[in-house]
Amino acid sequence: MKLTVKLLDIANRGVLLHSTDARSMRVRDGDRVQVADEATGKTAQAHVDTTGSLIEPGVIGVYRPLNATLAVDEGTVVIVRSAERPASLRHIKKKMDGGRFTKDETVDIVRDIVDDILSPGEITAYVTASYINGLDMDEVEYLTRATVETGERLHFTRHPIVDKHSIGGVPGNKITLLIAPIIAASGLLIPKTSSRAITGAGGTADLMEVLAPVSFTATEVQQMTEKVGGVIVWGGATNIAPADDKIITYEYPLRIDARGQMIASVMAKKFAVGADLVVIDIPVGRNTKIPDPQEGRKLAREFIEIGERLGMRVECALSYGESLVGHTIGPNLEVREALAVLEGATEPSSLVQKSLSLSGIALEMAGKAAQGQGYQAAADLLRSGKALDKMRQIIEIQGGDPTVKAEDIVPGEYRFDVRAPQDGYVIELNNSALVTLARLAGSPYDHGAGLDIHAKKGTRVKKGDPIFTIYAEREWRLERAIEVGRTLMPVVVEGMVLERIPHDRWV
Amino acid sequence: MKLTVKLLDIANRGVLLHSTDARSMRVRDGDRVQVADEATGKTAQAHVDTTGSLIEPGVIGVYRPLNATLAVDEGTVVIVRSAERPASLRHIKKKMDGGRFTKDETVDIVRDIVDDILSPGEITAYVTASYINGLDMDEVEYLTRATVETGERLHFTRHPIVDKHSIGGVPGNKITLLIAPIIAASGLLIPKTSSRAITGAGGTADLMEVLAPVSFTATEVQQMTEKVGGVIVWGGATNIAPADDKIITYEYPLRIDARGQMIASVMAKKFAVGADLVVIDIPVGRNTKIPDPQEGRKLAREFIEIGERLGMRVECALSYGESLVGHTIGPNLEVREALAVLEGATEPSSLVQKSLSLSGIALEMAGKAAQGQGYQAAADLLRSGKALDKMRQIIEIQGGDPTVKAEDIVPGEYRFDVRAPQDGYVIELNNSALVTLARLAGSPYDHGAGLDIHAKKGTRVKKGDPIFTIYAEREWRLERAIEVGRTLMPVVVEGMVLERIPHDRWV
């Protein structure tokens, strides 16, 4: 059926059809249509909304994301027809029935995800079936490769390229702000793409945005890395591994964290930036994604195997994940804490030790330090100020102010101290409750919102001592956080230490 | 956030927010918001689309289905906030992880499906997880009850109420058009709700629509049934078991046919209309939903068990499902064939025998015939013309023309005969290919479109004999069907019969 285009600024991959046109095309709400522009030869698929009055019969409302593919002008006549059922749906059904994906089937599915041919429901079915029935190492490899191939890639002429990834689950994990400049200061290249917060109070991209813009194309990422040795950017802006962003979108509402998909997600991003050497941080402990070290080691072996299959050398570090890294949660507070370490602060030791340990592994892998000497080499780069200089170059090339100092970065003006109700030890500091408070206070959107934790687990406190401070940029958000904080009870102070686990148990 | 309503005629349960409002509410495309009208106290949830220009900041575009709940006028100021994550998502995740649904969890999920609180992706996750990990009999019972309780119910004062259901998978299964009037003619009540075609060429509701309107409220269904003993209506119009319609919508794209959900779906509709006695037709055979009798018997036991738990007496009949019932596919052709039998035709025997067998089971269950005499009792009601009279009353009370005759109902004017390419036997008549052709020809939307099959499987044909005729209301649809038919090869004629399975093997 020939229909005339009306462009509609709706941020959703769909088209709007008049219900009479939909009826004669035999399509219903949610069905898939193919839209073709004969003049340009471009075609795209989209899902149908219908209306009885917003547009006339003979007109098709084209929403914004569809027109990113189709690039038609208002008034163009396009050919619209009911789209065929994509083969990828058969593959997904096969997984539901306990089958294994082949390489080609994986490519079909990933391509249809990237091209928005699969609906949200269909992508969810894929994610759910993969989660329940699992993916074996072959399937994870196929998914990794397909995710790389459906996006952009970086091609460096200088090697080795270093990358790191933390699988998440521990708050305040600002270590990339130290590791990237340390690695780049050693002369290695580290084109670090990071995510924004999904469930957390600040992803690395949210933190870096305090210091400089983080949205760049893949080409820009490569050029900047070649110039200064490293960047810290938002992966979501690059079109590197775009399938992964979509898969995560549909995992999130159901809190699905499918092992195979997670490995493919991480490794695809590393492979796409051309990484040769990869360090993966696996926080382990109660309330993290990996409750026990046994499981962490299994995951590590899987990362290493997929790395081998793709020609990347991978090392993993199980890290202590039961307590936050450093003392702060929220963009400005975390950035201030990390910058202070670059500027010479030797505390907080959890942050310094973890960053140096992971940097050290990478330096050893790259031959920049002898076996067992990586930590010290990283410490030298930090203490000499070379890492700080490098960080300033990274900030500058991304368009930020390279003269920025830790003291310039201040938290929100509204603050509230949570104090110890009695003498004793902090025996419980609930990470997820702390993250919830930080988010209620406005983090990560309000950069100044967050928490400063003065007494971590195991610390002795006296009645009335501040245990942590909540910061906010807006008073009502602070009040909301305080109010909810009273019911969440993120901190428990008891008269004696029941259990104490030192930070360096894992690092 | 307070926003002013602009009503948007889009047939999709969503709202449109300006992207700046969405940002300050911390919601992204696809997130859930709660919309409250303080004046009426009404609240509803919907998913968010965003725009940069279609509406101004401060305005919320409310799509049609949401306003069915909210009932606000243009210009009303509503309170919009990011909605909390519904508990049903946790329950769905539990099923993904191999858990069992409790009664309360099932109610949460079904209510959130009916209230459009779960997104299409989330409902798909529910369906997928239930399909892969299965539902036990307790869970099926909970789902059945929750599906009944979230919809309308009929409450008859006269009993017993009879109902029948065919689980589908065999084309041309027009038997309800005979069974309902036979049962009603015996003095029993049969408030038959039917579906429209999903993957087939015509559901019973599509067929009945040739003779009379089929969209009625639950109250009307009850009143009409009390008056004339039976109806044949479209269940989708009644708000009986509304959750089921939505679940089926999301099973369809992936061709999921989850056993437990199917049982709950059928039994909920029977329970909701107040059925005491239920006959279930389970077509068995290659290319049906149930490939072997063993599996059919297992399914039958499950239907019977759920019936017992709900206080309904259920009997099942495994029927021969490898060949179409009667000779026709498509609304007008099927209705003509069924009406002719009511008017006295003794052919096609597959249709007559199956209808009488199932009717006979119901008559015996209700005590209208002695054990073993049901078939004969049904045959008497048919041959005496009482079933025809009853069908005319049913047509009349639903608003159709009661004087209609089989000969009045004609197929589409465009036709094409598919002929035997050689002498031999029809050794293959592919049901799903036949259904595809009927749909291409326009069935079920064009009532005159369909197929008339002259030579079923096992029939001896001479070269040039017509094997089947394709009918269409529009020439281009006929041509499309012919063209695709050449590649689908729905019929194979070979020089000898390789295998022949008589119709009455199962009935």
pLDDT at A419: 87
Q: Is A229 annotated as a binding residue?
A: no
CATH code of the domain made up of A162-238+258-406: 3.40.1030.10
Q: Is A200 annotated as a binding residue?
A: yes
In this structure, is the dihedral angle defined by the CA atoms of residues A390, A394, A395 and A399, taken in order, positive or negative? positive
Q: What are the tens digits of pLDDT across the range B385-399?
A: 999 999 999 999 999
- Report CA-CA distances (Å) from B9 to A54, B45, B117, B380, B486: 6, 17, 20, 54, 43
Q: Which residues of A touch B (CB under 8 A)?
A: 8-12, 16, 19, 26, 29-30, 49-54, 85, 89, 92-93, 96, 119-125, 127-129, 131-133, 249-250, 253-256, 445
Q: What are the tens digits of pLDDT across the range A356-387?
A: 999 999 999 999 999 989 999 999 999 999 99
More confident residue, A267 or A460: A267
Q: Across the interface, do A96 and B9 touch by the CB < 8 Å criterion?
A: no
By Cβ distance, the residue of B29, B123, B129 closest to A132 is B129
Query: ipTM beyond 0.85?
Result: no
* Positions of E strands within B352-486: 414-419, 424-429, 450-453, 460-461, 466-472
CATH code of the domain made up of A414-494: 3.90.1170.30
Q: Is A199 annotated as a binding residue?
A: yes
Q: Are B204 and B194 in contact (CB under 8 A)?
A: yes
* CA B140 from centre of chain: 19
Q: Is the pLDDT of residue A426 over 50?
A: yes
By Cβ distance, the residue of B52, B93, B445 closest to A254 is B93
Structure tokens at B457: 């499987």
Residue B406 CB coordination number (10 Å):
16
- Residue B19: list chain A partners with CB under 8 A: 11
Q: Across the interface, do A120 and B119 touch by the CB < 8 Å criterion?
A: yes
Q: Is the pLDDT of residue A212 over 60?
A: yes
Q: Is the pLDDT of residue A400 over 50?
A: yes
Backbone φ and ψ of B42, nearest 5°: -80, 140
- Residue B253: list chain A partners with CB under 8 A: 85, 89, 119, 121-122
For residue A494, what pLDDT band results from cuts at 50, 70 and 90? low
- Residue A258: list chain B partners with CB under 8 A: none
Q: What are the tens digits of pLDDT across the range A232-261?
A: 999 988 999 999 888 888 887 777 778 899
Interatomic CA distance for residues B198 and A381, integer angstroms: 67
In this structure, is the dihedral angle defined by the CA atoms of residues B29, B33, B37 and B38, taken in order, positive or negative? negative
Residues with pLDDT less than 50, chain B: 496-507
Percent of chain A clearing pLDDT 70 (strictly above): 97
How big is the A-B interface in CB pairs under 8 Å? Answer: 119
- Residue A253: list chain B partners with CB under 8 A: 85, 89, 119, 121-122
The nearest alpha carbon in chain A to B99 belongs to A132
pLDDT at A28: 82
Q: What are the tens digits of pLDDT across the range B324-337?
A: 889 999 999 999 99
Q: Is A94 annotated as a binding residue?
A: no
Q: Which of A157-166, A215-224, B316-325 is the least confident region?
A: B316-325
Q: What are the tens digits of pLDDT across the range A64-115?
A: 888 888 899 999 999 999 888 889 999 999 999 999 999 999 999 999 999 8
Q: Across the interface, do A250 and B128 touch by the CB < 8 Å criterion?
A: no
Q: Across the interface, do A11 and B26 touch by the CB < 8 Å criterion?
A: no
* Residue of A1, A7, A8, A10 best to disrupt the B interface, most CBs of B under 10 A: A10
pLDDT at B506: 38
Q: Across the interface, do A93 and B254 touch by the CB < 8 Å criterion?
A: yes
Structure tokens at B429: 């008549």
Q: Across the interface, do B254 and A29 touch by the CB < 8 Å criterion?
A: no
Q: Is the pLDDT of residue A189 over 90?
A: yes
Query: Which residues of B are known catalytic residues?
Result: 257
Interatomic CA distance for residues B455 and A223, integer angstroms: 71
* Residue of A12, A130, A196, A443 best to disrupt the B interface, most CBs of B under 10 A: A12
CATH code of the domain made up of B162-236+260-406: 3.40.1030.10
CATH class of the domain comprising B2-82? mainly beta
pLDDT at B131: 93
Q: Is B198 annotated as a binding residue?
A: yes
Domain ranges of chain B: 2-82, 87-134, 162-236+260-406, 414-494
Average pLDDT, chain A: 89
Residue A492 CB coordination number (10 Å):
15
pLDDT at B494: 64
